[in-house]
Amino acid sequence: MSEKMAAEKPSTSSASASASVPNSKGQAWFCTIGLPSDIVIEVADMTFHLHKFPLMSKSRKLHQMITEQETNLTTNIVREEETQTEIEEEEEEAEEITCNISLPDFPGGSETFEMVAKFCYGVKMELSSSTVAPLRCAGEYLEMTDEYAEDNLISKTERYFSQAVFKSLKESIKALKSCEKVISLAESLNIIQRCIDSIVSRASSADPALFGWPVTEDGGTSNQGLWNGIETGLRRKGAKNSEFHSWFEDLSLLSLSLFKRLIYAMKEGDLSQEIIESCLMHYAKKYIPGLSRASRKPSSSSTIPSENEQRELLETVIANLPLEKSASATSTTATRFLFGLLRAANILNASESCRSALEKKIGSQLDQATLDDLLIPSYSYLNETLYDVNCVERILGYYLEGLQIQQHQDDTARSPPLMLVGKLIDGYLSEIASDTNLKPDKFYNLAISLPDQARLFDDGLYRAVDVYLKAHPWLPEAEREKICGIMDCQKLTLEACTHAAQNERLPLRAVVQVLFFEQLQLRHAIAGTLLAAETVPQELGRASGIRQEGEGEGEGEGEAEEVVGGEVSGSGTWRAAVRENQVLRLDMDSMRTRVHQLERECSTMKKVIDKIDKKGPVGGWRESVSKKFGCKFKTQVCDSHEQTVVDNRRGRQHH
């Protein structure tokens, strides 16, 4: 075969099917350049009918294998000669005999060998990130070096690596993914490590601010960038972020073994916490069902791993999560993801150490959680409650441990995150209070676990207590009093006090204490109203005097007219002030009437309690109430006419 003929572009045909589907079983791949094929190479389930010369001119290994087979074939023919006629017949048959070579362990399979064959025939080959790694391994396997033939396959693929693959983050990920087909040879050629180094280097130079961009549950960017049909800068930034989201998707296509190596390299390379968390989140969401409540199934393009594979992936993700609190703009999304991991860990029966590490991570950012996150179903038959209260107790404990350390460092008495957690726990208590299997001690211990600074008002706690008493009407009086003891009646708003005073589910002593503090609040409100009513006329008179003095500095007739006008205006303002004062006095009268009603109710209860104390232990009702609630009552429980007003809020702000 001449050099000119070997350089021509051959056409290909298939004996049983189209050559464009080379992986189909039992297929044959033919190269037609006008000459019959003289070598058959079997790779996997594909048979290639080719010519010796193009292959031998590029591959040292194929040259050796073909030469060795031809030598053995000739030796066998000579040994079987018997007559001259038989020799001539055998020579004619030898010309028709072709070489047969089998390559069962060829890297990349028949698809890669087809590209190698085209390269040997001089066909222009378009390299890509998905094919360059298998071709590089194939070139090494077939010994297609520049020493054997100029501009051979090995040098061609290496140039593509340096000029195209390693200069792009996405292309490096695709090349790393293609190494899974040729894992052992790619490892020995250091292709895997070079791809990982390139990914880490390119990811570290990415803009960290883009990783905090909000992403919807289905993986798309938010559509909030359109305002009245006009595209805003928000949408343009989201479009830029979609590029980074795209390489996250490419990253999630890696096998678990390669993904673990990449994450380890990212941690060693001191990449930002946001990048590592985002990689872990995208990878876990693709293969673990149920991590987000909006999507209970993994991606349709991915196969569902087995339970053991999911457990291994889950433990890998948790083990590599940064221990620090998420500082990105999507920390709420990250917290929701962590709770999804916790539910999956319970379902997959992950190790105790794995779940403990995850609970500590959640505890470090509990102030970013929502009530829906805390409602973790109880998956164990040992728990009688509907929700896993023990898990929430542990998470809250980890949060309080971190809070104590922070308070020692910052010396802050009350912080907004702590008050957010207080509101969150009160809402959680209201949700679980209706569970009839929830023990009083469990409810009590969870309620008192938070410090006093976590609650400005106890209205949410009162609501939870009310729900619990309604769902557990069989509780004895002592248990009901203990449950009500978690409330501080001095921290109830006037509306909550009014409701509690008429609540038949509360024990008698709790109602008495609520009535007492409600009266104090009403008296304080009345005193404030009276003070405001006395202050307004004085301020108006002072302002009118100042105005008249200023107007008196004018000249001529205009001065007199202005004074008259000022007097008319001042009289109108005075009438408005009188009307406002009358309204305030009416409100004060209604509140005084309410106080008298409460006094009568309190007096009636006092008589009943006195009768009870006469039959009970020595010490009387006041002493028992003082020991129980930590407050002292006067001989006259309530007196709306007393001049001294007790500030029950103790300096706290009013709504």
Say whether pLDDT at 651 is over 50.
Answer: no
How far apart are the C-alpha atoms of 128 and 548, rounded to whole Å?
A: 90
Q: Residue 223 has what pLDDT?
A: 42
> Locate tokens 């501009």: which residue?
151
Do residues 279 and 263 touch, judged by C-beta distance below 8 A?
Answer: yes
* Amino acid found at 503: N
Say whether pLDDT at 215 is over 70.
Answer: no
Q: How confident is the model at residue 137 (pLDDT cuts 50, 70, 90)?
A: very high
In this predicted model, what pLDDT tens digit does every residue of 425-470 receive, in sequence order? 999 999 999 999 999 999 999 999 999 889 999 999 999 999 999 9
How far apart are the C-alpha atoms of 299 and 287, rounded to whole Å?
A: 7
> Locate tokens 């075969």: which residue?
1
Question: By mean pLDDT, which of 343-347, 418-422, 593-597, 637-641 is the weakest?
Answer: 637-641
Say whether pLDDT at 5 is over 50.
Answer: no
What is the average pLDDT across 173-181?
Answer: 95
Q: How are beta strands 99-102 and 39-43 bridged, if at all?
A: parallel
How far apart are the C-alpha atoms of 60 and 116, rounded to whole Å?
A: 14
How far apart are the C-alpha atoms of 123 and 99, rounded to whole Å?
A: 23
In this predicted model, what pLDDT tens digit does every residue of 13-53 receive, in sequence order? 433 333 333 333 457 777 766 677 888 899 988 888 888 89
Question: By mean pLDDT, which of 154-158, 214-218, 385-389, 616-620 is the weakest?
Answer: 214-218
Question: Between residues 173 and 293, which one has the greater pLDDT?
Answer: 173
How far apart are the C-alpha atoms of 480 and 482, rounded to whole Å?
A: 5
Q: In a 3-state reduction of DSSP, which class is residue 221?
A: strand
What average pLDDT does the chain have?
A: 75
Q: What one-character-per-residue DSSP string does 439-495 give?
A: -HHHHHHHHHTS-GGG-S--HHHHHHHHHHHHH-TT--HHHHHHHHTTS-GGGS-HH
Say whether pLDDT at 409 is over 90.
Answer: no
- DSSP-assigned beta bridge partners for residue 87: none
Helix, strand, coil tally for the chain in percent (to 5) = 65, 5, 30
> Locate tokens 């020692």: which residue?
408
In this predicted model, what pLDDT tens digit does every residue of 139-170 receive, in sequence order? 999 999 999 999 999 999 999 999 999 999 99
Say whether pLDDT at 565 is over 90.
Answer: no
How far apart are the C-alpha atoms of 11 and 125, rounded to whole Å?
A: 14
Q: In a 3-state reduction of DSSP, which class is residue 118?
A: helix
431-to-437, 460, 516 alpha-carbon distances in Å: 13, 11, 29
Q: What one-character-per-residue DSSP string does 295-308 give?
A: B-S--TTSPPPPHH
403-to-335, 396, 409, 450 alpha-carbon distances in Å: 18, 10, 10, 11
Percent of the residues in the chain that have a pLDDT greater than 70, as a whole number:
64
Q: How are beta strands 99-102 and 226-227 bridged, if at all?
A: unpaired
What is the average pLDDT across 372-380?
Answer: 91
How far apart are the C-alpha atoms of 309 and 306, rounded to whole Å?
A: 5
The region, left, alpha or beta by phi > 0 then psi within -120 to 50, assigned to residue 257 is alpha
251-to-29, 283, 309, 555 alpha-carbon distances in Å: 34, 7, 18, 85
Burial 332-367 (b: 16+ CB within 10 A, else e): bbbbbbbbbbbbbbbbbebeeebbebbbbbbbbbbb
Say whether pLDDT at 629 is over 50.
Answer: no
Q: Residue 204 has what pLDDT?
A: 81
Say whether pLDDT at 396 is over 80.
Answer: yes
What is the average pLDDT across 122-129?
Answer: 90
583-to-254, 306, 466, 587, 590 alpha-carbon distances in Å: 74, 73, 35, 6, 11
> Locate tokens 């050629």: which residue?
189
In this predicted model, what pLDDT tens digit does every residue of 495-507 receive, in sequence order? 888 888 888 888 8
Question: By mean pLDDT, which of 67-71, 322-326, 435-439 is the weakest?
Answer: 322-326
In this predicted model, what pLDDT tens digit does every residue of 511-550 receive, in sequence order? 888 888 777 777 777 776 666 655 655 554 555 554 554 4
608-to-68, 605, 612 alpha-carbon distances in Å: 115, 5, 6
Tell me which H or E stretch contains 209.
Answer: none
How far apart are the C-alpha atoms of 231 and 589, rounded to whole Å?
A: 59
How far apart are the C-alpha atoms of 109 and 25, rounded to whole Å?
A: 13
472 burial (CB, 10 Å; 0-12 / 13-18 / 19+) is buried
How far apart are the C-alpha atoms of 440 and 35, rounded to whole Å?
A: 92
Q: What's the per-residue H, E or C state across 48-74? A: EEECHHHHHHHCHHHHHHHHHHHHHHH
pTM: 0.69
Q: In a 3-state reduction of DSSP, which class is residue 170?
A: helix
